[in-house]
Structure 1
Amino acid sequence: MDDFAESVGKEIGEGLRAYFVEPHLYEQAMACVEEKLRGKLPFSKLTVLHFHAFGGTGHAIYRAAAAVELMILSADIIDDLQDKDNSLTAWSRMSPEMVLNIAFGLTLVSQQMMLTGDFPMEVVHKAVQFLNTQTLAAINGQTTDLLNDIGSEEDYLRMVKQKSAGFVVAACMIGTLLATGEWNERVRDYAEELGIADQIKNDIRDLLDWERSDFKNRKKTLSTLYLLQFIAEEDQWIADYFEGRLKAEEISHRREEFERAIERTGTFLYTSVRMRTHGYNYLQLVDKLEIDAHWKNRIIALSE
């Protein structure tokens, strides 16, 4: 499966050519897709890897993996459009009207590609139903995120399970379903742990990126919730800003103070430990899989 990216990319291109027949729509959508293809295609990789790990054979998986990647790309595009926190993407340079059309179109192309694959229809129906279920859960999670309606770590983890971790579960489970025809609870469990660990890792990175910090965006994450719980009196300005009592320009010069507060409260250490805990849970669950050692090791390597 080492050449999976080329095969998935080919399927994505063919899907867009088949269904985006208006030239401008196709051109703009391809610009979004080409940006995606320059990356590592993590979700389609999970789908292909699990398909082979659970005994699947043949090339039909690449079309299904392309469908998974397009569904998640459409969600990423909409997420960026709503959050307005990523100005570096191809879709950030397009009109919102065109972006919405592309995102909605990619969702339907994804469905069409999954439904017209070469797997038995009863298995395809299970895969499509599961992808739709996870996408709907992600919409609920994204709504919670947009409302910033997170008051505790439990709320945060619930949102992550619905949203980012939910898509990791979808990618892994669809590959497994298409190989075996069956739902696998253990795959769901370890995929969720992997997705949570990855999201916490992203939150740590975003907290320390002052220009795009979750703190400056007043976003409630595991890191910011912990920080706000343990700030000292001298750092009360952090809570004042987060609660809207200070404006961004009033704290723009306080980056070093903020970094010292992170160190004093142990925020970085705490969230790093939580990330590693979920990573450890992932490894423990994967280790119990009864599959060929080659594929088990490749699944284990995803946590590196």
Structure 2
Amino acid sequence: MRPEVMQTMIDMVDKYVRIEEFNKLLKECVYEKGSEQTGWGEITRYAHLMLGGSSPNLDRTAAITEMIMLAADIADDLQDQDNKDKLWMQYRQEYVINGVLALLMGAVAESAELTNGKGGPVTLTREISRILLESLNGQFADLEQNVTTEQQYIAMVYQKSGSLIHLACYMGYAELGLDSKAAGTMKEIAYYSGIIAQLENDLKDLLRFDMKNDILRKKRTLPILYLLSAEESFPYMKQYYEGKLTQSDLLAKKQECIDYINDSGCMEYSKIIQTLHRQKAAELLESLTTVSPWREKFQQVTLITA
């Protein structure tokens, strides 16, 4: 995170939170997030610049984006209980929930002070709320763990992850007054980028056998759906998902499970889906009138290539 963006977030905390311990908690969360290679504010920045923007408020806008995404990250960790080493997981959960609300409300309050080319601050805050609610719908679908098909998975990720990238993009172009076609194209790019990013996370979590492992948590990501549909050579995973095996039973077959994953083709298949979405997003980006080098930088933070 850029130092100037993090400082703006700290200033926002001081502006809205006056109880010393609460202020300290939120600042620690901001510093923790600032130490990561977070790209949310950069998406906002590059979306703005590549579409011809030159706002003097860009750091502030990027900071609002980062505040919202920090709240979303904390809420996600509270729900999943799989990131125990995070600073915010060391505090009492009721304090942290209060912190999530404070970060969101502070971001909304700051956004209300910004204006855009189509409707002013009311339009901006309304659209932020609408996009966030779309993401929350996807998050709830993920928590229900009722996804059983690739189509359901894609629809869930479009909402959950795609909406957040859409929000980061929207924060960048909101004041530019894009026509409906260009705004729709940016939304499509964001949703394709959400699939790319989520698949990257799914693949990283597939082979790590700790609390972040999606199989142990019985999540149904795209590579896991692939594994569950072709389980003849390793039926134990499906049995675990059906409750016929315990976690200890599955962990006793850890190496067999890893071998099955590596040999199954699920990772290759997921990479193909990633590539297809990357190509679609790149084609859409080419159709827009954009400014270099900001378009290329925007691609780097949204269309993951590693």
Bin of the TM-score, shorter chain as denominator length: over 0.9
Q: Does 2:217 correspond to 1:217? A: yes
Partner of 2:52: 55
Q: 2:158 aligns with which of 151, 157, 161?
A: 161
Q: Calculate the aligned-residue CA RMSD, in Å.
A: 1.7
Given that 2:115 and 2:175 are in contact with CA atoms closer than 8 Å, whether structure 1 keeps it comes out as no
Deviations 1:38-68 (A, max 9, x none): 1233111111111111222132122122112
Deviations 1:74-117 (A, max 9, x none): 11111111111111211110111101010011110010111123
Amino acid at match of 1:241: Y
Partner of 2:299: 300
Q: Report the Cα distance in structure 2 between the residues aligned to 1:11 and 1:292, rounded to whole angstroms.
A: 26
Matches within 5 A, 1:82-101: 82-101=79-98
1:214 Cα deviation (Å)? 0.5
Q: Report the Cα distance in structure 2 between the residues aligned to 1:37 and 1:104, rounded to whole angstroms.
A: 19
Partner of 1:174: 171
SS at match of 1:235: coil
Q: 2:13 aligns with which of 13, 16, 35?
A: 16
Residues 101, 74 of structure 1: alpha-carbon distance in 2 compared, 3 angstrom cutoff: same
1:36 Cα deviation (Å)? 0.8
Partner of 1:108: 105
Residues 53, 123 of structure 1: alpha-carbon distance in 2 compared, 3 angstrom cutoff: farther
Q: Report the Cα distance in structure 1 between the residues aligned to 2:243 and 2:87, rounded to whole angstroms.
A: 32
Deviations 1:227-262 (A, max 9, x none): 000111x41111111111111111212221112212
Q: Report the Cα distance in structure 2 between the residues aligned to 1:269 and 1:41, rounded to whole angstroms.
A: 27
Identity %: 25
Q: Report the Cα distance in structure 2 between the residues aligned to 1:273 and 1:157, rounded to whole angstroms.
A: 14
Q: Report the Cα distance in structure 1 between the residues aligned to 2:263 and 2:42, rounded to whole angstroms.
A: 40
Q: Does 2:89 correspond to 1:76? A: no
Q: Report the Cα distance in structure 2 between the residues aligned to 1:24 and 1:263, rounded to whole angstroms.
A: 48
Partner of 1:235: 234
Partner of 1:248: 247
Residues 207, 271 of structure 1: alpha-carbon distance in 2 compared, 3 angstrom cutoff: same
Q: 2:61 aligns with which of 34, 59, 64?
A: 64
Residues 120, 190 of structure 1: alpha-carbon distance in 2 compared, 3 angstrom cutoff: closer
Partner of 2:119: 122
With 277-286 and 213-222 compared, the bigger mean Cα shift is at: 277-286
Q: Report the Cα distance in structure 1 between the residues aligned to 2:9 and 2:184, rounded to whole angstroms.
A: 29
1:225 Cα deviation (Å)? 0.6
SS at match of 2:293: helix
Q: Report the Cα distance in structure 2 between the residues aligned to 1:285 and 1:257, rounded to whole angstroms.
A: 42
More helix per residue:
1
Deviations 1:137-185 (A, max 9, x none): 1211111111112121111111111111210011112211223355511
Partner of 1:276: 275
1:121 Cα deviation (Å)? 8.1
Question: Which protein has greater RCO, CA pairs closer than 8 Å, 6+ apart?
Answer: 2
1:285 Cα deviation (Å)? 1.4
Residues 261, 148 of structure 1: alpha-carbon distance in 2 compared, 3 angstrom cutoff: same
Q: Tell me the TM-score normalized by structure 2.
A: 0.93
SS at match of 1:210: coil
With 21-30 and 33-42 compared, the bigger mean Cα shift is at: 33-42
Aligned length: 300
Q: Report the Cα distance in structure 2 between the residues aligned to 1:51 and 1:124, rounded to whole angstroms.
A: 17
Residues 131, 182 of structure 1: alpha-carbon distance in 2 compared, 3 angstrom cutoff: farther
Partner of 2:36: 39
Show structure 1 runs of 5+ residues with no match.
none
Q: Report the Cα distance in structure 2 between the residues aligned to 1:120 and 1:98, rounded to whole angstroms.
A: 38
